[in-house]
Structure 1
Amino acid sequence: MTIAITGGHGFLGWHTASRLRALTGTDAVRLGRDDFADPQRLASALDGVDAVLHLAGVNRAGSDEEVEQGNVRLALDLAVALAHQDRPIDVVYANSVQAELDNAYGRGKAAAAALLASAVETHGGHFADLLLPNLFGEHGRPAYNSFVATFAHEVAAGRRPTVTVDREVPLLHAQDAARELLASVGRTERRTLDAEPRGVGEVLALLEQAHALYATRGEIPPLPGPFEVNLFNTYRAAAFPAMWPLSPQVHADNRGELFETVRAHGGTGQAFVSTTRPGQMRGDHYHLHKVERFFVVQGEAEISLRRLLHDEVVTFRLSGATPSFVDMPTLWVHNIRNVGDTELVTMFWADQLLDPENPDQYPEKVALP
């Protein structure tokens, strides 16, 4: 099945395209502003597409009218492109819980849903209308995607944001939203996605706790549940790559040296040690949720990482002469290579016990062809 994603280069679009790659090994047709600016180009982009996830939207503009009509216009452009195909194409719409409210954004999203439902049903396709709550996750844009993105970037930069109005906000991680969007392909339905209510002040406190433990000492904060893991990964994305690598305090005496490799404040964890011969490499995979640490104990290593569906590669050089470590951010492809002349000894740690049935590990090479 070929799936197109409008807004495919945005925050939710990237998360959804990444999840599709991870679980199916296929790439989405990612559509952006340039495609919508040219009706013929947009129609041609849908050739051979079986389903469209319509994630593109307008939530900020110069006026309320621009917000409302901007969402209607995007839906209309997509409806025209679908009509050019003259065949059934399923559409899943990333609507908003605000579609049930009387404000410019809500009215625009509701009108877009009605327009798309009619266009899809006319040609025999399935239309799923999913009402999304507030989303957060890795690589959200501060002061744009959510208050969580803003807080994460501010805290990671060592600043202290303030809470002006403390209230509970229903929050959903972008990967969980992507899971539901992909699961709705081929269905005719309208439903509101479940979210976890969390206080604005509570979120900030969790991020500040993570920063206090993680930024200078690399200690893992308490991760009692999926929300805390997702929030921590959001913070880690904001902190990467500026804070790496870290070197622990080394305690030495006549017996030798001792240093701490991981200190985790609660939760599960698993560690193992590997040896790697000169010139050999380990890794070339990525994770959706796992927190993972590479600690070079002996030898010379290069750790390379590339954000999924991006081209730029970040590389760190680590040496056992100065024991140090780098944590792998979620949704970044990574590997470690022995670039020295002697055996490389690396300790690996992950926050979760390995589940062979669901290892949260997806193969992909850091180096692009």
Structure 2
Amino acid sequence: MKKILITGASGFVGKNLVAELKNQGYEELFLYNRNNSIDELEEFTKKCNFVFHLAGVNRPNDEAEFMEGNFGLTSILLDLLKKNENKSPVLISSSIQAEKNNPYGKSKKAGEELLFNYSKDTGTEVHVYRLPNLFGKWSKPNYNTVVATYCYNIARNVEIQVNNPETNLTLSYIDDVIEEFIRALNGSPTKSNDYCLVPVSYSIQLNNLAEKLLSFKESRNSLYVPNLGDALTKKLYSTYLSFLPKDNFSYDLKMNVDNRGSFTEFLRTPDRGQVSVNISKPGITKGNHWHHTKNEKFLVVSGEGLIRFRNIDEEEIIEYRVNGDKLEVVDIPTGYTHSIVNVGETDLVTVMWVNESFNSEKPDTYFVEVE
């Protein structure tokens, strides 16, 4: 296993990188942060055989700190590696802002040039990544990315500001970034001329980003699960959940309760149906209806039940006895009137999936006794 030096180890990218390196069994990690001294950094540069240089300044109080944090520390790091005759490969996290003529971009560009010159002088392998806007867990609101700021505020009922709504953002997800960094660590970076890149990125307008994140909050009320088949939506949803306040991980569901028990919708989707939880008290029968196209799956998770079927044009009754001790799914075919009876002495708890979310204008439900 390589001995790895990581500067900026407690930052957004660094924290995610350290966590994954530990997952993969790397044990000798030299973590350098603002609280460490230059003497400690020198000791690290004596021992390491790969460097992730992630430390930098995004939003300083003084513009001069851009050059100090993004160029100055890079210069110190490379001087120490040269002093200790350490030709470990160096990966630096730069920014697409390096292409722009602003204080932050200039400081990132200066750091890049320093690294390229260092490579020419020493023959050391270097990997320069111009990263786009990053998002994911452990990012900082009002610092790292607009995604973090929006997620943080929306999760706390704070109004978000959408300035220049048609602005196009290029985003990369932190897990994709870390996956690419580990490829570089293993000698297989994704190259584009002199630079390296994260091969997975996304483009989205600012107003569409805001709408999508707001829909995640609303999903607790509508019960609609986001379209997680879309990769960007999946990654944004995971990011949004990571920003939930610690006292707001849970939310209530509307329970439809009567003397027979209860029926509670859990999840809805536009194309994969809905999931509900049905609770029946002992001796209670529910159902006695059939559907043209709507179909269901019943899964008894607690108690003892009897699921009964009858093709509406026939007299034969089919029965399935089910219980929570042996989980089995029972399909409810179309054209069969069906019921579920609690034949036990405790509440019967059934998870029910139906292939379409309930539509009161077209319920496709017709009451006929199984008998």
The alignment status of 1:33 with 2:26, answered yes or no, reads: no
Q: Which residue in 2 is equivalent to 1:97?
A: 96
**8 A Cα contact 2:55 2:69, kept in partner:** no
C-alpha offsets along residues 176-204 of structure 1, whole Å, 9 cap, x if unaligned? Answer: 12222222234685134453111111110
SS at match of 2:109: helix
SS at match of 1:108: helix
SS at match of 2:48: coil
Give, in whole Å, the separation in 2 of the partners of 1:237 and 1:128. Answer: 30
Give, in whole Å, the separation in 2 of the partners of 1:117 and 1:263. Answer: 53
SS at match of 2:101: coil
**8 A Cα contact 1:43 1:84, kept in partner:** no
Task: Read off the aligned partner of 2:217 and give its amino acid letter.
Answer: H
2:212 to 206, 211, 214: 206
Judging changes above 3 Å, is the alpha-carbon distance between structure 1 residues 268 and 153 closer, same or farther for their aligned structure 2 residues?
farther
* TM superposition shift of 1:254: 4.2
SS at match of 1:211: helix
Q: Superposition pairs for residues 1-369 of structure 1, below 5 Å?
A: 1-22=2-23, 24-27=24-27, 28-35=29-36, 38-120=37-119, 122-166=121-165, 167-185=167-185, 186=187, 189-194=194-199, 195-214=201-220, 216=221, 219-266=224-271
* TM superposition shift of 1:217: 6.6
Identity of aligned residues (%): 26
Task: Read off the aligned partner of 1:173 and give its amino acid letter.
Answer: Y
**8 A Cα contact 1:251 1:257, kept in partner:** yes
* TM superposition shift of 1:268: 10
* TM superposition shift of 1:119: 3.1
TM-score, length basis structure 1: 0.66
* TM superposition shift of 1:105: 1.4
* TM superposition shift of 1:60: 1.9
Task: Read off the aligned partner of 1:238 and give its amino acid letter.
Answer: F
Query: Bigger relative contact order, structure 1 or 2, given CA contacts below 8 A and separation 6+?
Result: 1
Judging changes above 3 Å, is the alpha-carbon distance between structure 1 residues 79 and 151 closer, same or farther for their aligned structure 2 residues?
same
Judging changes above 3 Å, is the alpha-carbon distance between structure 1 residues 4 and 269 closer, same or farther for their aligned structure 2 residues?
farther
Equivalent pairs counted in the alignment come to 274
SS at match of 1:257: strand
**8 A Cα contact 1:251 1:259, kept in partner:** yes
Task: Read off the aligned partner of 1:196 and give its amino acid letter.
Answer: Y
RMSD over aligned CA atoms reads: 3.1
Q: Which has the larger radius of gyration?
A: 2
Task: Read off the aligned partner of 1:209 and give its amino acid letter.
Answer: S
Judging changes above 3 Å, is the alpha-carbon distance between structure 1 residues 134 and 49 closer, same or farther for their aligned structure 2 residues?
same
Give, in whole Å, the separation in 1 of the partners of 2:180 and 2:275. Answer: 30
Task: Read off the aligned partner of 2:7 and give its amino acid letter.
Answer: T
Judging changes above 3 Å, is the alpha-carbon distance between structure 1 residues 100 and 268 closer, same or farther for their aligned structure 2 residues?
farther
Which structure 2 residue ranges, 5 or more long, are not aligned? 277-300, 303-348, 352-371
**8 A Cα contact 2:87 2:122, kept in partner:** yes
Give, in whole Å, the separation in 1 of the partners of 2:138 and 2:68. Answer: 28
SS at match of 2:253: coil
* TM superposition shift of 1:170: 0.7
Larger deviation: 186-195 or 228-237? 186-195
Which structure 1 residue ranges, 5 or more long, are not aligned? 272-296, 299-344, 348-369
C-alpha offsets along residues 10-35 of structure 1, whole Å, 9 cap, x if unaligned? Answer: 1111122223233x122543211122
* TM superposition shift of 1:122: 4.1
SS at match of 1:239: coil
Give, in whole Å, the separation in 2 of the partners of 1:43 and 1:117. Answer: 21
Task: Read off the aligned partner of 2:93 and give its amino acid letter.
Answer: A
TM-score, length basis structure 2: 0.66
Q: Which residue in 2 is equivalent to 1:323?
A: none
Q: Which residue in 2 is equivalent to 1:277?
A: none
